[in-house]
């Protein structure tokens, strides 16, 4: 099969356009670069030469390959040169009228068979195509920055796009070593459509002073394995760019969750655009620098000293409870493992022993450390044995009635001054606290699964939690090697409040037949660096668990956009709960 588009014109040779030009030339294609004027053309050529020289220095390109690809690229300021191209890739600034004017001129210059593509991330491809007499040969081709490392390309069709033209562009992307995904014409397409809604909610969370910028970013990195926290990512993207994308998304969706958080507008008005201006959510060493400069917080108040914790109790015998016991025992704390019966507690300790043995086999733990940790764990079938514990962590079923009953029982037996913690991920901590006569001693301590491996702990204070109780848990997290983040007692805390609306948006995208399960997962993994796509993650978490969290979030915030997607409800009703039942968004029984 003949390779598609042997000659390609790239109009606009900024960072993205220059990257596309180099990628095309590396594939052996002739590239016609067009800039707005002679000065801009010279700068663009310098940019291409400098980037390819760096690639040689870093071993990504041979000197001979560089010379060959540079010979394939010509750069000028005459748009009529694009008439010799089989394909035109437009990468000019995100201005609709600028793009429409350019496409009208390209339509006049180029032969009828030439395919015209726009690199827009937020504007309507349909409206750009309407400026031409060939809308069937106009589509979006969204590369990701930096082009040389990012494998994703979104191929965006309008209602008029010729499927053959779209397939030719997808074949070109594959020939460049990229992974094309098919998307329809709506603001943000797949990756940005899901990413920017999440970033917007993180900005709103920070603006409401629910959590600090550092805690929000750490929570999403450590709790979800994301390459960057949302606020740091907004600074990298550019806050003005993010606001432009969100405005375009809101104009189409009218979903309030897409309306840019007011803090974004305030930062843009102040010229605080992120890394490129030297300051955004964070302050940087200089404009364009990635080095964050610590800032003094004027509102930082001295923290109370924590209480002494020498002995720990853990209530529960499931996976989470056993993992938490392992965390404390490995850190040298005596732990009482309390279950509803002595037999359940003994079985939980046996599972703990197997977990520690696996760590020894993998070289992560010495035999002496394994034996020392096991010796510190005492199983018991009676909550009365927790009387002298300084901290008791509840890790029983995620059922409020069960938890309240347990907290009432602990209130009757645990000594005064002990800290009582719940590991709930979705229930109100204050409801557990009010089951006791000492609500000031109750705090949320949300570990992530598997507890021994996951570094994050969300420390959740209610309106009644004493300051020294919060301080106790924060200090204790440091002692056991965990990274604590602080937040208030509202649905989802930090991680789930940001993660599950994003997952719900992905389900809605599928439900609307906008993109396939595989394309959405691919877009988020390759375009955003996520460890798992949303549907992979939903199937692992469990669709029933996910639906419950969505419902809790909707009930708490009453935001229409947070209502669980009907498709998710239907799959749960059908018993398709993900990996645990063999079928969810994918059929795991056949794999």
Which 3 state secondary structure label does DSSP give 157?
A: strand
Q: Among this protein's residues, is 398 annotated catalytic?
A: no
Q: Is 425 a catalytic residue?
A: yes
**Both tokens assigned to 209:** 């002073």
176 contacts 23 by C-beta, under 8 angstroms = yes
Output the six-digit token pair for 393: 């962590």
β pairing state of 377-380 and 483-488: unpaired
Among the options 192, 317, 355, 425, which is catalytic? 425
Separation of alpha carbons 140 and 184, rounded Å? 9
- Cβ count near 335 (within 10 Å): 26
- The Cα 55–Cα 61 span in angstroms is 5
**Rounded to whole angstroms, how far apart are CA atoms 567 and 527?**
25
> Which candidate, 192, 171, 188, 78, places its Cα nearest to that of 122?
188
Clarify whether 446 is annotated catalytic.
yes
What is the C-alpha to C-alpha distance for residues 574 and 345, in angstroms, rounded to an integer? 35
Peptide bond into 520 cis (omega under 30): no
Say if residues 520 and 537 touch (Cβ distance below 8 Å): no
- The CA distances from residue 211 to 67, 184, 228, 408, 494, in Å, are 52, 36, 17, 30, 8
**Look-up of token digits 């032969």:** 111
> How many other CB atoms sit within 10 Å of the CB of residue 13?
27
Residue that has been written with the tokens 């003005």 in this structure? 240
Phi, psi of 88 (to 5 degrees): -115, 130
Structure tokens at 254: 């009218």
**Strands 152-157 vs 138-143: parallel, antiparallel or unpaired:** antiparallel
Q: Which residues pair with 87 in a beta bridge?
A: 8, 115
108-120 b/e (C-beta count within 10 Å ≥ 16 → b): ebbeeebbbbbbb
Residue tagged active-site, from 317, 446, 536, 554:
446
Respond yes or no: is residue 51 known to be catalytic.
Answer: no
Contact present, 353 and 374 (Cβ < 8 Å): yes
DSSP codes joined into one string, 459-524: EEE-TT--HHHHHHHHHHHHHTT-EEEEEESSTTTTHHHHHHHHHHHHHHHHHTTSS-HHHHHHHH
Among 51, 496, 504, 546, the active-site one is: 496
**Among 458, 486, 536, 550, which one carries the catalytic annotation?**
458
Q: Which residues are identified as catalytic?
A: 425, 446, 458, 496
């Amino acid at each position: 099969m003949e390779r598609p588009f042997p000659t390609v014109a790239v109009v606009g040779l900024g960072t993205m356009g220059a990257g596309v030009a180099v990628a095309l030339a590396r594939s052996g294609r002739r590239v016609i670069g067009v800039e707005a004027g002679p000065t801009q053309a010279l700068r663009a050529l310098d940019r291409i030469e400098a980037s390819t020289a760096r690639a040689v220095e870093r071993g990504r390109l041979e000197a001979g390959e560089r010379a060959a690809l540079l010979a394939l690229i010509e750069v000028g300021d005459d748009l009529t040169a694009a008439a010799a191209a089989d394909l035109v890739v437009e990468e000019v600034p995100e201005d609709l009228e600028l793009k429409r004017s350019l496409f009208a001129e390209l339509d006049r210059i180029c032969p009828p068979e030439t395919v015209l593509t726009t690199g827009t991330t937020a504007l309507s491809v349909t409206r750009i195509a309407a400026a031409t007499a060939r809308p069937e040969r106009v589509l979006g081709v969204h590369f990701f920055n930096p082009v040389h490392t990012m494998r994703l390309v979104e191929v965006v069709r309008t209602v008029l796009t010729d499927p053959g033209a779209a397939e030719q562009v997808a074949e070109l992307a594959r020939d460049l070593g990229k992974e094309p995904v098919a998307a329809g014409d709506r603001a943000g397409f797949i990756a940005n459509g899901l990413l920017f809604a999440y970033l917007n909610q993180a900005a709103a969370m920070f603006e409401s002073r629910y959590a600090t910028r550092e805690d929000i970013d750490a929570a999403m990195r450590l709790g979800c394995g994301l390459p960057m926290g949302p606020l740091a990512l907004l600074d990298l993207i550019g806050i003005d760019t993010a606001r432009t994308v969100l405005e375009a998304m809101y104009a189409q969706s009218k979903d309030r969750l897409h309306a840019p958080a007011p803090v974004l507008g305030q930062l843009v008005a102040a010229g605080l655009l992120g890394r490129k201006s030297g300051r955004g959510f964070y302050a940087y060493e200089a404009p364009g620098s990635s080095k964050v400069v610590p800032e003094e917080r004027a509102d930082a108040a001295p923290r109370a000293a924590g209480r002494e914790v020498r002995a720990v109790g853990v209530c529960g015998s499931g996976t989470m409870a056993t993992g938490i016991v392992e965390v404390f025992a490995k850190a040298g704390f005596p732990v009482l493992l309390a279950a509803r019966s002595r037999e359940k507690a003994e079985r939980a300790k046996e599972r703990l022993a197997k977990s520690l043995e696996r760590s020894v086999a993998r070289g992560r733990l010495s035999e002496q450390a394994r034996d020392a940790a096991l010796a510190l764990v005492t199983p018991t079938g009676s909550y009365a044995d927790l009387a002298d514990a300084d901290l008791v962590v509840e890790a029983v079923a995620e059922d409020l009635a069960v938890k309240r009953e347990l907290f009432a029982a602990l209130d009757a037996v645990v000594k005064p001054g002990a800290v009582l913690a719940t590991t709930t991920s979705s229930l109100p901590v204050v409801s557990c606290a009010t089951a006791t006569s000492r609500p000031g001693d109750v705090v949320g301590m949300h570990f992530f699964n598997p507890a021994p491996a996951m570094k994050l702990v969300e420390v959740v204070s209610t309106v009644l939690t004493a300051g020294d109780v919060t301080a106790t848990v924060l200090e204790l997290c440091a002692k056991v090697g965990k990274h604590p983040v602080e937040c208030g007692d509202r649905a989802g805390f930090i991680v789930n409040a940001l993660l599950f609306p994003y997952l719900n948006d992905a389900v809605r995208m599928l439900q609307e037949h906008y993109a396939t399960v595989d394309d959405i997962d691919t877009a988020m993994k390759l375009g955003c660096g996520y460890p798992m796509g949303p549907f992979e993650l939903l199937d692992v978490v469990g669709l029933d668990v996910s639906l419950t969290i969505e419902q809790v979030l909707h009930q708490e915030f009453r935001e229409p956009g947070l209502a669980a997607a009907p498709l998710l409800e239907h799959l749960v009703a059908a018993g398709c709960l993900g990996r645990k039942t063999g079928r969810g968004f994918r059929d795991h029984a056949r794999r």
